[in-house]
Structure 1
Amino acid sequence: CDSGGQRAALSFNMAFGQVRYSVPEEMTTGSVVGNIIQDLGLDVKRMKSGKPRIFTEDGSEYIGLNTEKGTLVVAKRIDREELCNQVSPCSLHFQIILENPMELHRIDVEVTDINDNAPFFSKKEYSFQVIESASPGARYSLESAKDPDVGHNTVQTYKLNPTDHFKLNVVSLPDGTKYIEMVLHTSLDREKQEEHKLTLTAFDGGNPEKSGFVRINVVVLDANDNAPTFSQSVYRLAVPENTSTGTVILTVSANDKDEGGNEKIVYSFSQHTDSALSLFNMDPQTGEITVVGKLDYEKVKHYEINIEAMDKGGLTDTSKVLIEVTDINDNAPVISIISLSNPIPEDSAPDTVIAMLNIKDADSDKNGQVKCFINKDMPFKIKSSSSNFYSLMSDDILDRETVPEYNITITAMDEGSPPYSTSKTVNLRISDINDHAPMFSRSFSTAFITENNSPGMTLLSVKASDKDYANNARISYFLEDSQLNGRSASAYFSVNAESGQILAVRSFDYEQIKEFNICVKAQDGGSPPLSSNMTVKVMIQDQNDNPPQVLYPVQTGGSLVAEMVPRSADVGYLVTKVVAVDVDSGQNAWLSYKLQKATDRALFEVGLQNGEIRTIRGVTDKDAVKQRLTVIVEDNGQPSRSATVIVNVAVADSFPEVLSEFTDYTQDKEYNDNLTFYLVLALAVVSFLFITCLVVIISVKIYRWRQSRVLYHSNLPVIPYYPPRYSDTLGTGTLPHVYNYEVCRTNDSRKSDCKFGTVGSQNVLIMDPSSTGTMQRIQSEKNILDEADSPLEVRTVIHEMCSP
């Protein structure tokens, strides 16, 4: 509203016959509050006829009614603080009553506050006594200022001046009230200033703002206001971890500006350094810190000790001592095996990881730097894989058969001075693989067995060795299946699989088979198995199981074969030679000849080795024409075997003389007359025999050819026997030429053969006691012998001629 009585209402609300106005306090009397004619919708006539009046319940008359204009005006001074005090909002409530007809309208007038009051304190001055030793942060409560206004017009801020030592703190309570306190933020020193004068001013929020103030006197009381002060706020030092007990490592000092008893200082550890109390001690008077325990860099590297200096007034100062424990090389490296592959196969490739190692040294810097190595001349190496981790690896080809296990010494050495080292030995075993075949001590061996052995007899034991281990070195022996003389080798021999003994399955005959070549296989138990072979030559040793056989002279059933010796024969005259063989071998076939019986033992002798019959004296006329010699042939076996042969010798110079001696003169005269008939008959028989011999010879040759093919396919060996040749070395007598004969024998006596050479100019007299023939028959028989094509024909002819 304005002073000219203009309308002063700021706003109004109308609802159900109710109007609300707002006016500030302290408006001049007569100021318009509002136009009710307009606000209530009334006209001037109704206003005049209704005789309006204001009714208040409390009888207050702050608002009046101008009926002429229909306005509400201020009737008297309105003081909001007097009317409502601190209540807000502050309102005036009254009714306007109209008559004819009766109407009632409610009117509310809100009185708003204006900044018409300044803040004020209840006291004009405050006094405080503060000891100079008061610590910063000490609080002192002050009375709040008061202001009857409300809202922004009441007290809003405070200001303290000066603020060298104190500052103001405003505290708001949950109920919205505030109180203020003075906080010491800088220590007081009575020695510098004994009294401090401060001014506290309160300001409201009005415009313009208003304020009120109060004076504060602070009196500083003297006290032990100088606390001890350490020379350093932080003490730093390095202490070797091997510092001996009782060594003073640091002396601290503090100063106190007070005098008298207040300057005496006591040193101590703070209560926050319990961990160091067992290792360090502090002298309370001198401030010396000594070592009382064992320092260990590897456990604790740093110590932080809070120390305290206190005077007798209880003032203190604190400081820190930072102790750095320096490392010395007092720890050896520690080797830990994280993983180990043991054993490892011998076929492991180079760079195979055998073990993982963790090697660490609790020391630091060079004292904790570790070098790792293994003993030399081993197929291994050690390699760093990462920090503090190492790998033990193979570096070459391994061979269990050469070195079955290794003791690998791993050495770790730090770089301290002097250096510390640690060693750990790893026993590494090399596992076997089947990389070696069984080996015989020799690839060929010879075994001897005597013929006629018992089946199951052990010939020999073979032995093979295998450099491998366990099952890879378990050897079994087998006989390789091969053909021996057309039969499987297992038909002759067997091998013990465990012991390697070679056994004869059957009995052997030296005269049939003299040797075998068999193959023995040694096989290990590896997977896959490995094997090797050995050849065993089995030699059949001869036994003296065959007697000598006389080849010449041939013994006949009825005819007599006589050797002629002229009476003019000298000493040593070769009469004949006994030829014998023995199918045995060696000394069992060594033959010796002895004269067992003789008509005249003083006339003849037999060569012990060659069987030659010679005269040992000259022949006389007194010697009988007919001489009978019995020769025994013995071999050299144990026991020896023998054969006998009868040799007829005719001592005469002519055939008639011999015939007269060997002919039976008691025969019938008629038989002598028919001698010619028998000669003719003999010639016919000989012719027939010659033709028959040709057929037999052809048949025998075919048979021998077929037998040689059978022997070739059956692998039966043919054993030739070539006895020496004998001759009359003297060149005299009736045997001036050489006897030639060949003997071929096989294991089968049925396949043996004997071949005689022709006897050149040899006089052999064949006497038939029942014969009365003449020399023509003898000559014809000689011719037949000369014409024979083979020894078999000779033998056949001789046999036929010698038959009765």
Structure 2
Amino acid sequence: YIKQRKRHTQRQVLLFVSIFSLSSVFGQVTYSVPEEMTKGSLVGNIAQDLGLDVKRLKAGKARIYTEDNTEYIELDKDRGALLVKERIDREALCGQTTPCALHFQITLEEPIEFYIVTVEINDINDNAPSFKKDEMKFRISESAVIGAKFVLERAMDLDVGVNGLQSYSLKPTDNFNLKLQNQQDGSKKVEMVLQKQLDRETQEHLSLTLTATDGGDPQLSGTMRVEISVLDANDNAPVFTQELYKVTIVETAPKGTILNTVSAVDADEGSSGKVSYSITNTLDDVPVMFKIDEDSGVVSLTGNLDYEKSQHYEIHVQASDDGGLTDSCKIIVEVTDTNDNYPSINIMSKTNSISENSRPGTVVTIFNVQDPDSGENGKVTCHIEEHMPFLMKTTSKKFFSLVTDSELDREAASQYNITVTCSDEGVPSLSSSVTLTLQISDVNDNAPVFERSSYEAYIVENNTPGLSIFTVRARDADWNQNARVSYILEDSSVGVPVSSYVSVSADSGVIHAVRSFDYEQIKDFQFRVKAQDGGSPPLSSNVTVKILIQDQNDNPPQVLYPVQTGGSLVAEMVPRSADVGYLVTKVVAVDVDSGQNAWLSYKLQKATDRALFEVGLQNGEIRTIRQVTDKDAVKQRLTVIVEDNGHFPEVLSEFTDFTQDKEYNDNLTFYLVLALAVVSFLFITCLVVIISVKIYRWRQSRILYHSNLPVIPYYPPRYSDTLGTGTLQHVYNYEVCRTTDSRKSDCKFGRAGSQNVLIMDPSSTGTMQRIQSEKTFIFSTTDSDTHD
């Protein structure tokens, strides 16, 4: 045994290297080792035989892939060697199948490569021939003729080749010798042949030894006792009508299916002619799969057939009579295949993420597809969904690869759920599918894009510094850091650096005013903003932004004529002979604002005699509206107000405190609710009192009516109306003026509105007043020498 094991330890290596159609290296290595090697024994140096560097095995994450997930061989990456991982029993692995081999693949990543490795397992003589029974018993009539045959049980040896069963011997050989017949399957039919007439009176019982020997070194053997009881007078053995029966059955046949009926005839009569049937198979699974009715010879199915496990069976049937005479026949059962197995998809190597700039033809996943059916039922094709940038390629009979078929764009699709479907060609076809999730990693191939080609924004003058004007936005179709946009103010100038006018938030794109703008100084300006992503290298784009300043009514009208000089009122002469429409003078004023804020109107606010003069609303001309009479006062004082058409800027409201007004409104509401409640209460009380009085008087009148007393009506005295006749006036008129020093040219601004009032008063002293009410500005000039 030791010599044979050493002889089988010598391995043979066959290496065939070919180039894979998908730029992956494909190689095939074959090793030959004996079974029962100890754990850790060397199978072969795979790195040397494949021409690989040991560092490549580590860097490529080399691993062993097997179809049934059973690993008898392991890979030592440090040595680049294949070692025995588990004890290999050839008989348990392959049974009687020869040659016996382990098939597995070695896969590497980055780039993806795989190699096919075959390890042939050589048999050693580790199993002796054995019989299922320790003894066989025969009852043979003494009348048995010379040459009568008795079938003996065959021995089974799990080894194959020369280590398998080779010969039989039967001892002693006084009455019987051994006859071996070769069968179609290569086995031997063992028969014991009577060569000398039996004599029950001389020897009633015979004990023989059947020995089975293999051809191994050392030679192993097994024995079985054959016990023979000699009977009287049964001189006819059963004879089968056929020596061989053939049956075909599909693998999906249910239990209980009848395969065939065997028949044997015995010429004897009585109990010596009664035949019984039995199956004589021993170590195989025939007794589990089939049974025979011992009386009728009907053979039926008792187990589940599987074509992929066994394609044919041999059933050995024995016919025996009560005298111990026997005959045998054989039933050959052929199992036909049905398409009852789905393709099995095994992922050998896969990539979870791939860059969007990967070239077409990049390998994503390698599959191994198995279908144990035969013929067309086992032919498999694989495909994926249409309209996807991937392609399935067949690399060999059982191997498929998923590769990129066109350019990828993460912005169009950042993830693919790829369903791979493998179908066989059976009828009906069976298929299996597996879904792969593939992430597309981003590269910085998209520049930020603004929402508009240009921006235009408005801001009202006198704004607060730091005020947010508006927001520019740019979007980047990339992902993560490549899509992170920053905003930068381009270095440009509008007389002064643009950064002194506005600033831009780098993260949000919000543009703020750095200073307060004055429409009268600058009406608009423009600049450029750059949007830049966070990629490497960064990509950017620019946009033009135009800011337009809007005017506010922040300048009051200025009176140009009459010219205010010397602090005196303006005096004009009007002859008493002046006709109606006589032009006394013209007030000329300007406003530096624009638009409606600069539209001026003239109004006569005060006059000694309003029926004598009028002011043109648009032109400021002061004319008479009737003739001057002797009754008119010698001095006429006119006050003309000049107003623009705008509103005071919102900024003036900053100087107004509304807290007191709000508290006043809240208190007023409270008092109104309280007054309403009191009035309602008084009304309801009065109503109840009146109703009570009415009811009381009605009841009194009813009492008087039913009594016999005279009725004396009572009339209460009438009360005169004492309501007060005096009432306060409903309207009170007040005029409030504030004056400034006439030597100063500044104006006092009120809370809202802007009005300039020209007061002509000959009776006043030479002073110039500027009067401001809530919505009016008043200035006065006087001259004691002239009047109108």
Q: What is the TM-score with the length of structure 2 in the denominator?
A: 0.49
Largest Rg, 1 or 2 = 1
Q: What is the TM-score with the length of structure 1 in the denominator?
A: 0.48
